[in-house]
Structure 1
Amino acid sequence: MSTYSIKDLELLSGIKAHTLRIWEQRYSLLNPKRTETNIRYYDDSDLKLILNVALLNDSGLKISKIAKMSLEEIRAEVIKLTDRSLTHDDQIHALTISMVEMNEDRFDKILTSNILKIGFEQTMLHVIYPFLNKIGVLWQTAAINPAQEHFISNLIRQKLIVAIDGQVVDGEGKKFMLFLPEGELHEISLLFATYVIKSKGHKVIYLGQSTPMEDLISVYSIVKPDYLLTVFTTTPGMECVETYVRDLGNNFKEAQVLVSGFQIIGQDIELPANVQQLNYLGEIKQVLEQMNEFV
Protein backbone atom coordinates (compact mmCIF):
# COMPACT_ATOMS: atom_id res chain seq x y z
CA MET A 1 0.00 0.00 0.00
CA SER A 2 1.30 3.45 -0.92
CA THR A 3 1.49 6.34 1.52
CA TYR A 4 0.94 10.03 0.74
CA SER A 5 1.60 13.34 2.40
CA ILE A 6 -1.02 16.06 2.35
CA LYS A 7 1.10 17.76 -0.33
CA ASP A 8 0.76 14.62 -2.48
CA LEU A 9 -3.03 14.79 -2.07
CA GLU A 10 -2.93 18.44 -3.12
CA LEU A 11 -0.93 17.63 -6.26
CA LEU A 12 -3.17 14.75 -7.25
CA SER A 13 -6.54 16.32 -6.48
CA GLY A 14 -5.92 20.00 -7.14
CA ILE A 15 -7.39 20.82 -3.71
CA LYS A 16 -5.17 23.06 -1.59
CA ALA A 17 -3.67 21.45 1.52
CA HIS A 18 -5.25 24.17 3.69
CA THR A 19 -8.69 23.29 2.31
CA LEU A 20 -8.09 19.57 2.85
CA ARG A 21 -7.25 20.21 6.50
CA ILE A 22 -10.46 22.22 6.94
CA TRP A 23 -12.50 19.41 5.37
CA GLU A 24 -10.74 16.94 7.63
CA GLN A 25 -11.49 18.91 10.79
CA ARG A 26 -15.00 20.07 9.93
CA TYR A 27 -16.40 17.01 8.20
CA SER A 28 -14.05 14.18 9.30
CA LEU A 29 -13.61 13.54 5.60
CA LEU A 30 -10.10 12.11 5.90
CA ASN A 31 -8.55 9.84 8.47
CA PRO A 32 -4.78 10.44 8.54
CA LYS A 33 -2.48 7.88 10.12
CA ARG A 34 0.76 8.60 11.94
CA THR A 35 4.21 7.10 11.67
CA GLU A 36 6.17 6.01 14.73
CA THR A 37 7.74 9.47 14.69
CA ASN A 38 4.26 11.08 14.70
CA ILE A 39 4.31 12.26 11.07
CA ARG A 40 0.87 12.33 9.45
CA TYR A 41 0.29 10.34 6.27
CA TYR A 42 -2.58 9.11 4.12
CA ASP A 43 -3.18 5.79 2.36
CA ASP A 44 -4.70 4.64 -0.94
CA SER A 45 -8.26 4.75 0.39
CA ASP A 46 -7.81 8.38 1.47
CA LEU A 47 -6.42 9.29 -1.95
CA LYS A 48 -9.25 7.60 -3.85
CA LEU A 49 -11.82 9.30 -1.64
CA ILE A 50 -10.36 12.79 -2.03
CA LEU A 51 -10.05 12.42 -5.82
CA ASN A 52 -13.74 11.52 -6.04
CA VAL A 53 -14.72 14.29 -3.63
CA ALA A 54 -12.67 16.84 -5.57
CA LEU A 55 -14.37 15.91 -8.84
CA LEU A 56 -17.87 16.22 -7.34
CA ASN A 57 -16.99 19.47 -5.62
CA ASP A 58 -15.59 20.93 -8.86
CA SER A 59 -18.87 20.02 -10.57
CA GLY A 60 -20.81 22.21 -8.13
CA LEU A 61 -21.80 19.77 -5.37
CA LYS A 62 -21.33 21.33 -1.91
CA ILE A 63 -18.77 19.69 0.35
CA SER A 64 -21.31 19.59 3.20
CA LYS A 65 -23.55 17.38 1.05
CA ILE A 66 -20.70 15.19 -0.21
CA ALA A 67 -19.55 14.58 3.38
CA LYS A 68 -22.91 13.01 4.21
CA MET A 69 -22.73 10.53 1.31
CA SER A 70 -21.51 6.96 1.65
CA LEU A 71 -18.48 5.77 -0.31
CA GLU A 72 -20.81 3.86 -2.66
CA GLU A 73 -22.95 6.96 -3.25
CA ILE A 74 -19.89 9.10 -3.95
CA ARG A 75 -18.54 6.57 -6.44
CA ALA A 76 -21.91 6.28 -8.20
CA GLU A 77 -22.16 10.07 -8.54
CA VAL A 78 -18.65 10.25 -10.00
CA ILE A 79 -19.48 7.62 -12.61
CA LYS A 80 -22.68 9.43 -13.58
CA LEU A 81 -20.85 12.75 -13.81
CA THR A 82 -18.02 11.50 -16.03
CA ASP A 83 -20.45 9.61 -18.25
CA ARG A 84 -22.37 12.78 -19.08
CA SER A 85 -19.72 15.50 -18.73
CA LEU A 86 -18.01 16.84 -21.85
CA THR A 87 -15.48 19.05 -20.05
CA HIS A 88 -11.90 17.97 -20.60
CA ASP A 89 -10.94 18.70 -16.99
CA ASP A 90 -13.60 16.32 -15.67
CA GLN A 91 -12.43 13.58 -18.01
CA ILE A 92 -8.77 14.09 -17.02
CA HIS A 93 -9.77 13.94 -13.36
CA ALA A 94 -11.73 10.75 -13.96
CA LEU A 95 -8.73 9.18 -15.73
CA THR A 96 -6.58 10.07 -12.72
CA ILE A 97 -9.00 8.23 -10.44
CA SER A 98 -8.94 5.20 -12.73
CA MET A 99 -5.14 5.24 -12.67
CA VAL A 100 -4.94 5.34 -8.88
CA GLU A 101 -7.49 2.53 -8.61
CA MET A 102 -5.74 0.57 -11.41
CA ASN A 103 -9.22 0.21 -12.88
CA GLU A 104 -8.71 -0.86 -16.50
CA ASP A 105 -12.41 -1.25 -17.30
CA ARG A 106 -13.24 2.25 -16.10
CA PHE A 107 -10.23 3.77 -17.86
CA ASP A 108 -11.19 2.06 -21.10
CA LYS A 109 -14.81 3.20 -20.80
CA ILE A 110 -13.77 6.84 -20.29
CA LEU A 111 -11.45 6.75 -23.30
CA THR A 112 -13.98 5.01 -25.53
CA SER A 113 -16.70 7.48 -24.52
CA ASN A 114 -14.49 10.46 -25.36
CA ILE A 115 -13.46 8.97 -28.71
CA LEU A 116 -17.12 8.47 -29.65
CA LYS A 117 -18.03 12.02 -28.60
CA ILE A 118 -15.13 14.08 -29.97
CA GLY A 119 -13.06 11.70 -32.10
CA PHE A 120 -9.75 9.96 -31.55
CA GLU A 121 -7.50 12.85 -32.51
CA GLN A 122 -9.25 15.41 -30.30
CA THR A 123 -9.30 12.93 -27.41
CA MET A 124 -5.53 12.56 -27.70
CA LEU A 125 -4.87 16.31 -27.95
CA HIS A 126 -7.30 17.59 -25.31
CA VAL A 127 -7.68 14.71 -22.85
CA ILE A 128 -4.82 12.21 -23.10
CA TYR A 129 -1.90 14.63 -23.55
CA PRO A 130 -2.91 16.94 -20.66
CA PHE A 131 -3.48 13.82 -18.56
CA LEU A 132 -0.02 12.44 -19.45
CA ASN A 133 1.55 15.80 -18.61
CA LYS A 134 -0.18 15.66 -15.24
CA ILE A 135 0.97 12.16 -14.36
CA GLY A 136 4.47 13.02 -15.58
CA VAL A 137 4.66 15.73 -12.92
CA LEU A 138 3.15 13.41 -10.32
CA TRP A 139 5.63 10.65 -11.14
CA GLN A 140 8.59 13.05 -10.84
CA THR A 141 7.38 14.18 -7.40
CA ALA A 142 6.81 10.52 -6.33
CA ALA A 143 3.08 11.17 -5.82
CA ILE A 144 2.38 8.09 -7.98
CA ASN A 145 4.54 5.01 -8.42
CA PRO A 146 6.10 3.75 -11.67
CA ALA A 147 3.71 0.79 -11.84
CA GLN A 148 0.71 3.13 -12.07
CA GLU A 149 2.38 5.18 -14.80
CA HIS A 150 3.30 2.04 -16.78
CA PHE A 151 -0.22 0.65 -16.35
CA ILE A 152 -1.78 3.74 -17.91
CA SER A 153 0.85 4.20 -20.61
CA ASN A 154 0.35 0.65 -21.85
CA LEU A 155 -3.43 1.07 -22.04
CA ILE A 156 -3.02 4.26 -24.09
CA ARG A 157 -0.43 2.56 -26.28
CA GLN A 158 -2.89 -0.26 -27.02
CA LYS A 159 -5.55 2.26 -28.08
CA LEU A 160 -3.09 3.99 -30.38
CA ILE A 161 -2.01 0.77 -32.07
CA VAL A 162 -5.63 -0.19 -32.75
CA ALA A 163 -6.33 3.28 -34.18
CA ILE A 164 -3.23 3.12 -36.40
CA ASP A 165 -4.21 -0.30 -37.71
CA GLY A 166 -7.52 1.22 -38.81
CA GLN A 167 -5.77 3.71 -41.12
CA VAL A 168 -5.38 2.44 -44.69
CA VAL A 169 -3.04 4.43 -46.96
CA ASP A 170 -4.08 4.15 -50.62
CA GLY A 171 -2.42 7.15 -52.25
CA GLU A 172 1.11 8.12 -53.12
CA GLY A 173 1.74 10.29 -50.10
CA LYS A 174 5.04 11.50 -48.72
CA LYS A 175 7.25 9.03 -46.89
CA PHE A 176 7.96 9.56 -43.18
CA MET A 177 10.50 7.64 -41.08
CA LEU A 178 9.65 7.75 -37.37
CA PHE A 179 12.02 6.73 -34.59
CA LEU A 180 13.18 7.42 -31.05
CA PRO A 181 16.85 8.07 -30.18
CA GLU A 182 18.88 5.27 -28.68
CA GLY A 183 17.85 4.83 -25.04
CA GLU A 184 14.49 6.60 -25.48
CA LEU A 185 11.49 4.35 -24.69
CA HIS A 186 8.54 6.76 -24.41
CA GLU A 187 6.75 6.15 -27.70
CA ILE A 188 3.18 7.41 -27.15
CA SER A 189 3.90 10.71 -28.93
CA LEU A 190 5.56 8.86 -31.80
CA LEU A 191 2.58 6.51 -32.13
CA PHE A 192 0.19 9.46 -32.17
CA ALA A 193 2.26 11.12 -34.90
CA THR A 194 2.02 7.86 -36.86
CA TYR A 195 -1.76 7.94 -36.55
CA VAL A 196 -2.02 11.56 -37.75
CA ILE A 197 0.39 11.06 -40.67
CA LYS A 198 -1.36 7.92 -41.90
CA SER A 199 -4.79 9.53 -41.46
CA LYS A 200 -3.70 12.20 -43.98
CA GLY A 201 -2.71 9.61 -46.58
CA HIS A 202 1.05 9.50 -46.06
CA LYS A 203 3.32 6.51 -45.60
CA VAL A 204 5.12 5.69 -42.37
CA ILE A 205 8.25 3.64 -41.79
CA TYR A 206 8.04 3.09 -38.04
CA LEU A 207 11.33 2.16 -36.35
CA GLY A 208 10.08 2.80 -32.82
CA GLN A 209 12.02 2.83 -29.58
CA SER A 210 15.76 3.20 -28.99
CA THR A 211 17.09 3.33 -32.56
CA PRO A 212 20.89 3.67 -32.90
CA MET A 213 22.14 6.31 -35.33
CA GLU A 214 23.90 3.69 -37.50
CA ASP A 215 20.57 1.88 -37.94
CA LEU A 216 18.88 5.12 -38.95
CA ILE A 217 21.54 5.74 -41.58
CA SER A 218 21.20 2.20 -42.90
CA VAL A 219 17.40 2.29 -43.19
CA TYR A 220 17.47 5.83 -44.62
CA SER A 221 19.72 4.68 -47.48
CA ILE A 222 17.19 1.98 -48.36
CA VAL A 223 13.83 3.74 -48.06
CA LYS A 224 14.84 7.36 -48.85
CA PRO A 225 12.12 9.06 -46.75
CA ASP A 226 11.04 12.64 -47.39
CA TYR A 227 10.74 13.34 -43.68
CA LEU A 228 12.20 12.05 -40.42
CA LEU A 229 10.38 12.59 -37.14
CA THR A 230 11.59 11.97 -33.61
CA VAL A 231 10.64 12.90 -30.04
CA PHE A 232 13.03 13.55 -27.13
CA THR A 233 11.31 12.85 -23.80
CA THR A 234 14.24 11.84 -21.58
CA THR A 235 17.05 10.99 -24.04
CA PRO A 236 19.48 12.38 -25.08
CA GLY A 237 20.17 14.58 -22.06
CA MET A 238 20.22 18.36 -22.21
CA GLU A 239 23.99 18.41 -22.57
CA CYS A 240 23.90 16.14 -25.66
CA VAL A 241 20.67 17.02 -27.43
CA GLU A 242 22.08 19.85 -29.56
CA THR A 243 24.91 17.63 -30.84
CA TYR A 244 22.40 14.88 -31.62
CA VAL A 245 20.14 17.26 -33.56
CA ARG A 246 23.14 18.57 -35.49
CA ASP A 247 24.07 14.99 -36.40
CA LEU A 248 20.53 14.38 -37.67
CA GLY A 249 20.76 17.44 -39.90
CA ASN A 250 24.15 16.41 -41.28
CA ASN A 251 23.40 12.71 -41.79
CA PHE A 252 20.05 13.26 -43.53
CA LYS A 253 20.61 16.38 -45.60
CA GLU A 254 18.14 15.39 -48.32
CA ALA A 255 15.25 15.03 -45.86
CA GLN A 256 13.30 17.40 -43.65
CA VAL A 257 13.86 16.44 -40.01
CA LEU A 258 11.06 17.15 -37.50
CA VAL A 259 11.94 17.13 -33.78
CA SER A 260 9.85 17.58 -30.64
CA GLY A 261 9.74 16.63 -26.96
CA PHE A 262 10.61 17.88 -23.47
CA GLN A 263 14.36 17.77 -24.04
CA ILE A 264 14.23 20.26 -26.92
CA ILE A 265 11.16 22.48 -26.47
CA GLY A 266 12.09 25.77 -24.83
CA GLN A 267 15.83 25.12 -25.11
CA ASP A 268 18.17 27.58 -26.76
CA ILE A 269 19.32 25.22 -29.49
CA GLU A 270 20.62 26.20 -32.91
CA LEU A 271 18.86 24.03 -35.47
CA PRO A 272 20.37 23.01 -38.83
CA ALA A 273 18.59 24.39 -41.90
CA ASN A 274 16.78 21.09 -42.61
CA VAL A 275 15.59 20.58 -39.00
CA GLN A 276 12.25 21.95 -37.79
CA GLN A 277 11.08 22.00 -34.18
CA LEU A 278 7.48 21.13 -33.32
CA ASN A 279 6.45 22.74 -30.04
CA TYR A 280 3.69 20.18 -29.63
CA LEU A 281 2.78 17.12 -31.67
CA GLY A 282 -0.42 18.73 -32.90
CA GLU A 283 1.77 20.90 -35.13
CA ILE A 284 2.43 17.88 -37.34
CA LYS A 285 -0.97 18.64 -38.89
CA GLN A 286 0.29 22.05 -39.99
CA VAL A 287 3.27 20.42 -41.69
CA LEU A 288 0.96 18.02 -43.50
CA GLU A 289 -1.40 20.80 -44.56
CA GLN A 290 1.48 22.68 -46.16
CA MET A 291 1.85 19.81 -48.63
CA ASN A 292 -0.63 21.31 -51.09
CA GLU A 293 -1.23 18.20 -53.11
CA PHE A 294 -2.44 16.37 -49.98
CA VAL A 295 -4.45 19.12 -48.27
Structure 2
Amino acid sequence: MNNVKKSFSIRDMENLSGIKAHTIRIWEKRYNLFSPERTVTNIRTYSLKSLQKLLNIVLLYHNGYKISKIAKIPESEIPVLVREIVAKNSEKSHAINAFKLSMINFDQALFFNTYNSLLAERSFREIFIEVFIPLLNELGLLWQTDTISPSHEHFITNLIKQKIYINTEKLQIIEPTRKDKVFVLFLPENEIHELGLLFLNYEINLKGYKAIYLGQTMPIENLVDIIKYYENVHFVSYFTVSPTKDEIEKYIENFEKDVNSLGNSKLWILGHQVQHLLNEDLPESIRTFNSIERLMSHM
Protein backbone atom coordinates (compact mmCIF):
# COMPACT_ATOMS: atom_id res chain seq x y z
CA MET A 1 0.00 0.00 0.00
CA ASN A 2 2.86 2.37 0.72
CA ASN A 3 4.63 1.78 -2.58
CA VAL A 4 4.92 4.91 -4.73
CA LYS A 5 2.45 4.77 -7.57
CA LYS A 6 4.17 4.85 -10.97
CA SER A 7 1.40 3.87 -13.36
CA PHE A 8 -1.75 5.96 -13.87
CA SER A 9 -5.04 5.39 -15.65
CA ILE A 10 -6.65 8.04 -17.84
CA ARG A 11 -9.07 8.63 -14.96
CA ASP A 12 -6.13 9.25 -12.60
CA MET A 13 -4.75 11.73 -15.10
CA GLU A 14 -8.11 13.52 -15.20
CA ASN A 15 -8.43 13.59 -11.41
CA LEU A 16 -4.95 14.99 -10.86
CA SER A 17 -4.92 17.53 -13.68
CA GLY A 18 -8.54 18.66 -13.85
CA ILE A 19 -8.46 18.07 -17.61
CA LYS A 20 -11.21 15.79 -18.94
CA ALA A 21 -10.14 12.36 -20.17
CA HIS A 22 -11.66 13.14 -23.58
CA THR A 23 -9.47 16.25 -23.90
CA ILE A 24 -6.37 14.31 -22.84
CA ARG A 25 -7.06 11.77 -25.59
CA ILE A 26 -7.42 14.60 -28.14
CA TRP A 27 -4.12 16.15 -27.04
CA GLU A 28 -2.54 12.72 -27.28
CA LYS A 29 -3.80 11.94 -30.78
CA ARG A 30 -3.72 15.38 -32.40
CA TYR A 31 -0.51 16.71 -30.91
CA ASN A 32 1.31 13.51 -29.93
CA LEU A 33 1.94 14.91 -26.44
CA PHE A 34 1.80 11.55 -24.64
CA SER A 35 2.72 7.97 -25.45
CA PRO A 36 0.69 5.75 -23.15
CA GLU A 37 1.38 2.08 -22.83
CA ARG A 38 -1.36 -0.52 -23.21
CA THR A 39 -2.29 -3.32 -20.86
CA VAL A 40 -3.02 -6.81 -22.16
CA THR A 41 -6.69 -5.77 -22.23
CA ASN A 42 -5.80 -2.69 -24.36
CA ILE A 43 -6.34 -0.13 -21.57
CA ARG A 44 -4.19 3.01 -21.62
CA THR A 45 -1.72 3.46 -18.76
CA TYR A 46 0.46 6.50 -18.22
CA SER A 47 3.85 6.74 -16.56
CA LEU A 48 4.83 9.13 -13.77
CA LYS A 49 6.78 11.05 -16.41
CA SER A 50 3.61 11.46 -18.51
CA LEU A 51 1.68 12.71 -15.48
CA GLN A 52 4.40 15.21 -14.70
CA LYS A 53 4.31 16.40 -18.31
CA LEU A 54 0.51 16.75 -18.23
CA LEU A 55 0.60 18.86 -15.03
CA ASN A 56 3.28 21.05 -16.60
CA ILE A 57 1.19 21.43 -19.76
CA VAL A 58 -1.87 22.38 -17.69
CA LEU A 59 0.11 25.11 -15.95
CA LEU A 60 1.19 26.52 -19.31
CA TYR A 61 -2.31 26.11 -20.79
CA HIS A 62 -3.97 28.00 -17.94
CA ASN A 63 -1.32 30.69 -18.25
CA GLY A 64 -2.26 31.60 -21.83
CA TYR A 65 -0.25 29.14 -23.92
CA LYS A 66 -2.24 27.50 -26.71
CA ILE A 67 -1.99 23.74 -26.83
CA SER A 68 -0.74 23.90 -30.43
CA LYS A 69 2.15 26.10 -29.26
CA ILE A 70 2.92 23.88 -26.26
CA ALA A 71 3.15 20.88 -28.58
CA LYS A 72 6.03 22.59 -30.45
CA ILE A 73 8.06 23.34 -27.31
CA PRO A 74 10.97 20.89 -26.83
CA GLU A 75 10.07 18.55 -23.97
CA SER A 76 13.17 19.50 -21.98
CA GLU A 77 12.16 23.19 -22.02
CA ILE A 78 8.64 22.73 -20.64
CA PRO A 79 9.73 22.33 -16.96
CA VAL A 80 11.89 25.46 -17.31
CA LEU A 81 8.91 27.51 -18.49
CA VAL A 82 6.79 26.11 -15.67
CA ARG A 83 9.32 27.09 -13.02
CA GLU A 84 9.51 30.60 -14.46
CA ILE A 85 5.72 30.93 -14.27
CA VAL A 86 5.58 29.58 -10.72
CA ALA A 87 8.30 32.03 -9.67
CA LYS A 88 6.44 35.00 -11.17
CA ASN A 89 2.81 34.08 -10.72
CA SER A 90 1.12 33.36 -7.42
CA GLU A 91 -2.39 32.68 -8.67
CA LYS A 92 -4.20 30.09 -6.59
CA SER A 93 -4.85 27.56 -9.37
CA HIS A 94 -1.26 27.71 -10.58
CA ALA A 95 0.03 27.26 -7.05
CA ILE A 96 -2.19 24.25 -6.37
CA ASN A 97 -1.02 22.55 -9.56
CA ALA A 98 2.59 23.32 -8.66
CA PHE A 99 2.11 21.81 -5.19
CA LYS A 100 0.54 18.70 -6.76
CA LEU A 101 3.50 18.44 -9.11
CA SER A 102 5.84 18.81 -6.15
CA MET A 103 3.99 15.99 -4.38
CA ILE A 104 4.01 13.59 -7.35
CA ASN A 105 7.76 14.04 -7.80
CA PHE A 106 8.66 14.35 -4.10
CA ASP A 107 10.19 17.69 -5.09
CA GLN A 108 10.56 19.79 -1.95
CA ALA A 109 12.47 22.52 -3.80
CA LEU A 110 9.40 23.15 -5.98
CA PHE A 111 7.22 23.19 -2.86
CA PHE A 112 9.36 25.83 -1.15
CA ASN A 113 9.75 27.93 -4.31
CA THR A 114 5.98 27.94 -4.83
CA TYR A 115 5.33 28.74 -1.18
CA ASN A 116 7.86 31.60 -1.16
CA SER A 117 6.32 33.01 -4.33
CA LEU A 118 2.92 33.06 -2.60
CA LEU A 119 4.43 34.55 0.55
CA ALA A 120 5.64 37.55 -1.41
CA GLU A 121 2.01 38.70 -1.75
CA ARG A 122 0.08 36.82 0.94
CA SER A 123 0.30 36.14 4.66
CA PHE A 124 0.79 32.59 5.90
CA ARG A 125 -2.83 32.58 7.07
CA GLU A 126 -4.07 33.57 3.62
CA ILE A 127 -1.93 30.89 1.98
CA PHE A 128 -3.29 28.20 4.28
CA ILE A 129 -6.94 29.18 3.83
CA GLU A 130 -6.86 30.09 0.13
CA VAL A 131 -4.41 27.47 -1.17
CA PHE A 132 -3.55 24.71 1.32
CA ILE A 133 -7.15 23.94 2.38
CA PRO A 134 -8.40 23.53 -1.24
CA LEU A 135 -5.26 21.51 -2.01
CA LEU A 136 -5.83 19.21 0.96
CA ASN A 137 -9.48 18.75 0.01
CA GLU A 138 -8.37 17.65 -3.46
CA LEU A 139 -5.75 15.32 -2.02
CA GLY A 140 -8.35 13.68 0.19
CA LEU A 141 -10.40 12.77 -2.88
CA LEU A 142 -7.32 11.64 -4.81
CA TRP A 143 -6.23 9.41 -1.93
CA GLN A 144 -9.70 7.87 -1.56
CA THR A 145 -9.76 6.99 -5.28
CA ASP A 146 -6.25 5.50 -5.08
CA THR A 147 -4.92 8.13 -7.50
CA ILE A 148 -2.09 8.95 -5.10
CA SER A 149 -0.41 6.81 -2.48
CA PRO A 150 -0.06 7.45 1.26
CA SER A 151 3.60 8.27 0.53
CA HIS A 152 2.55 11.26 -1.57
CA GLU A 153 0.06 12.45 1.03
CA HIS A 154 2.55 12.16 3.90
CA PHE A 155 5.22 14.02 1.92
CA ILE A 156 3.08 17.08 1.18
CA THR A 157 1.29 17.22 4.54
CA ASN A 158 4.58 17.10 6.45
CA LEU A 159 5.91 20.02 4.40
CA ILE A 160 2.73 21.97 5.24
CA LYS A 161 3.14 21.04 8.90
CA GLN A 162 6.64 22.53 8.85
CA LYS A 163 5.18 25.87 7.78
CA ILE A 164 2.53 25.74 10.51
CA TYR A 165 5.18 24.98 13.17
CA ILE A 166 7.41 27.84 12.02
CA ASN A 167 4.60 30.40 11.99
CA THR A 168 3.11 29.20 15.28
CA GLU A 169 6.47 29.45 17.03
CA LYS A 170 6.70 33.13 16.08
CA LEU A 171 3.46 33.74 17.99
CA GLN A 172 4.24 31.53 20.99
CA ILE A 173 7.09 33.73 22.15
CA ILE A 174 4.56 36.53 22.74
CA GLU A 175 2.73 36.57 26.09
CA PRO A 176 -1.03 35.89 25.64
CA THR A 177 -3.08 39.08 25.79
CA ARG A 178 -6.50 37.50 26.33
CA LYS A 179 -6.96 35.79 29.68
CA ASP A 180 -10.67 34.87 29.74
CA LYS A 181 -10.18 31.42 28.15
CA VAL A 182 -7.50 28.75 27.92
CA PHE A 183 -7.64 26.45 24.90
CA VAL A 184 -6.38 22.88 25.07
CA LEU A 185 -6.01 21.14 21.72
CA PHE A 186 -5.87 17.36 21.49
CA LEU A 187 -6.86 14.37 19.38
CA PRO A 188 -8.69 11.40 20.94
CA GLU A 189 -7.18 7.93 21.12
CA ASN A 190 -6.48 6.32 17.72
CA GLU A 191 -6.78 9.68 15.97
CA ILE A 192 -3.67 10.90 14.14
CA HIS A 193 -5.04 13.42 11.59
CA GLU A 194 -3.66 16.57 13.17
CA LEU A 195 -3.13 19.06 10.34
CA GLY A 196 -6.38 20.93 11.02
CA LEU A 197 -5.69 20.95 14.75
CA LEU A 198 -2.21 22.36 14.17
CA PHE A 199 -3.64 25.23 12.14
CA LEU A 200 -6.24 25.87 14.84
CA ASN A 201 -3.39 26.10 17.33
CA TYR A 202 -1.85 28.80 15.10
CA GLU A 203 -5.18 30.65 14.84
CA ILE A 204 -5.78 30.59 18.60
CA ASN A 205 -2.29 31.93 19.29
CA LEU A 206 -2.87 34.60 16.64
CA LYS A 207 -6.02 35.68 18.50
CA GLY A 208 -3.91 36.24 21.61
CA TYR A 209 -5.18 33.33 23.72
CA LYS A 210 -3.14 30.82 25.67
CA ALA A 211 -3.12 27.51 23.79
CA ILE A 212 -1.88 24.20 25.16
CA TYR A 213 -1.21 21.69 22.38
CA LEU A 214 -1.34 18.04 23.50
CA GLY A 215 -1.35 16.43 20.05
CA GLN A 216 -2.33 12.97 18.86
CA THR A 217 -4.13 10.04 20.52
CA MET A 218 -4.72 11.55 23.96
CA PRO A 219 -6.65 9.35 26.46
CA ILE A 220 -9.64 11.18 27.89
CA GLU A 221 -8.61 10.52 31.50
CA ASN A 222 -5.37 12.44 30.94
CA LEU A 223 -7.30 15.63 30.18
CA VAL A 224 -8.30 15.84 33.83
CA ASP A 225 -4.81 17.07 34.74
CA ILE A 226 -5.37 20.31 32.82
CA ILE A 227 -8.38 21.47 34.82
CA LYS A 228 -6.29 21.29 37.99
CA TYR A 229 -4.28 24.23 36.71
CA TYR A 230 -6.74 26.41 34.78
CA GLU A 231 -10.35 27.54 34.93
CA ASN A 232 -12.66 28.05 31.95
CA VAL A 233 -10.78 25.54 29.82
CA HIS A 234 -12.00 25.08 26.25
CA PHE A 235 -10.91 21.70 24.92
CA VAL A 236 -10.73 21.58 21.12
CA SER A 237 -10.51 18.38 19.08
CA TYR A 238 -10.94 16.83 15.64
CA PHE A 239 -12.94 13.62 15.38
CA THR A 240 -11.94 12.49 11.88
CA VAL A 241 -12.04 8.70 12.24
CA SER A 242 -12.21 8.25 16.01
CA PRO A 243 -14.37 7.99 18.05
CA THR A 244 -16.56 6.17 15.54
CA LYS A 245 -20.28 6.72 15.05
CA ASP A 246 -21.01 3.96 17.55
CA GLU A 247 -18.55 5.30 20.14
CA ILE A 248 -19.06 9.05 19.96
CA GLU A 249 -22.02 9.37 22.36
CA LYS A 250 -20.19 7.32 24.98
CA TYR A 251 -17.12 9.53 24.53
CA ILE A 252 -19.16 12.67 25.23
CA GLU A 253 -20.74 11.00 28.26
CA ASN A 254 -17.27 10.16 29.61
CA PHE A 255 -16.05 13.71 28.98
CA GLU A 256 -18.94 15.13 31.00
CA LYS A 257 -18.40 12.64 33.83
CA ASP A 258 -14.57 12.56 34.03
CA VAL A 259 -13.40 15.95 32.73
CA ASN A 260 -16.30 18.35 33.18
CA SER A 261 -17.57 17.16 36.54
CA LEU A 262 -17.26 20.71 37.91
CA GLY A 263 -19.13 22.18 34.94
CA ASN A 264 -16.57 24.85 34.02
CA SER A 265 -15.05 23.26 30.89
CA LYS A 266 -16.14 23.17 27.26
CA LEU A 267 -15.47 20.72 24.42
CA TRP A 268 -15.51 22.07 20.87
CA ILE A 269 -15.36 19.41 18.15
CA LEU A 270 -14.65 19.47 14.40
CA GLY A 271 -14.12 16.67 11.89
CA HIS A 272 -15.97 14.07 9.86
CA GLN A 273 -17.59 12.33 12.82
CA VAL A 274 -19.50 15.44 13.97
CA GLN A 275 -22.08 14.68 11.28
CA HIS A 276 -23.44 12.09 13.73
CA LEU A 277 -24.16 14.77 16.36
CA LEU A 278 -26.74 17.54 16.61
CA ASN A 279 -25.87 20.57 18.74
CA GLU A 280 -29.40 20.78 20.13
CA ASP A 281 -29.09 17.24 21.54
CA LEU A 282 -25.73 17.85 23.23
CA PRO A 283 -24.94 19.05 26.76
CA GLU A 284 -24.43 22.81 27.01
CA SER A 285 -20.67 22.31 27.40
CA ILE A 286 -20.32 20.47 24.04
CA ARG A 287 -20.46 22.17 20.65
CA THR A 288 -19.70 21.00 17.11
CA PHE A 289 -18.43 23.06 14.18
CA ASN A 290 -18.28 22.32 10.46
CA SER A 291 -15.28 24.56 9.76
CA ILE A 292 -12.33 26.30 11.39
CA GLU A 293 -13.81 29.66 10.37
CA ARG A 294 -17.08 28.89 12.19
CA LEU A 295 -15.23 27.89 15.35
CA MET A 296 -13.05 30.99 15.30
CA SER A 297 -16.13 33.21 15.02
CA HIS A 298 -17.35 31.84 18.39
CA MET A 299 -14.24 32.85 20.33
Give TM-score, length-normalised by structure 2: 0.89
Of the structure 1 ranges 45-54 and 212-221, higher mean CA displacement relative to structure 2 is found in 212-221
Aligned to 2:195: 188
Matched, 1:237 2:248: no
Match of 2:264 among 254, 278, 285: 254
Give TM-score, length-normalised by structure 1: 0.90
Instruction: Decide whether the 8 Å contact of 1:10 with 1:17 is kept in 2.
Output: yes
Letter in 2 for 1:259: I
Distance 2:140 2:248 in 1: 20
Q: CA RMSD in A?
A: 1.9
Distance 1:267 1:71 in 2: 51
Aligned to 1:25: 29
Q: Shift of residue 22 of structure 1?
A: 0.8
Matched, 1:220 2:227: yes
Alignment length, in residue pairs?
287
- SS of residue matched to 1:129: helix
Residue segments in structure 2 that go unaligned for 5+ positions in a row:
none
- SS of residue matched to 1:206: strand
Q: Deviations over 1:94-115 (max 9, x none)?
A: 1111111110011012123223
Distance 2:68 2:119 in 1: 35
Aligned to 1:128: 132
Q: Deviations over 1:133-159 (max 9, x none)?
A: 111111111101111111111111111
Matched, 1:97 2:101: yes
Aligned to 2:292: 281
Question: Percent of aligned pairs with the same residue?
Answer: 37
Match of 2:17 among 13, 19, 27: 13
Distance 2:243 2:10 in 1: 34
Letter in 2 for 1:48: Q
Aligned to 2:116: 112
Q: 1:77 to 1:241 in 2, by over 3 A?
A: farther
Q: 1:39 to 1:56 in 2, by over 3 A?
A: same
Q: 1:5 to 1:213 in 2, by over 3 A?
A: same
Q: 1:225 to 1:75 in 2, by over 3 A?
A: farther
Q: Shift of residue 84 of structure 1?
A: 2.4
Alignment of 1:134-153 (within 5 A): 134-153=138-157
Q: Deviations over 1:213-250 (max 9, x none)?
A: 11122333344452111112222223333443454355
Instruction: Decide whether the 8 Å contact of 1:125 with 1:282 is kept in 2.
Output: no
Distance 1:154 1:48 in 2: 21
Instruction: Decide whether the 8 Å contact of 1:257 with 1:275 is kept in 2.
Output: yes
Match of 1:43 among 41, 44, 47: 47
Letter in 1 for 2:293: G
Instruction: Decide whether the 8 Å contact of 1:177 with 1:225 is kept in 2.
Output: no
Distance 2:215 2:87 in 1: 35
Letter in 1 for 2:215: G
Distance 2:132 2:256 in 1: 31
Instruction: Decide whether the 8 Å contact of 1:178 with 1:228 is kept in 2.
Output: yes
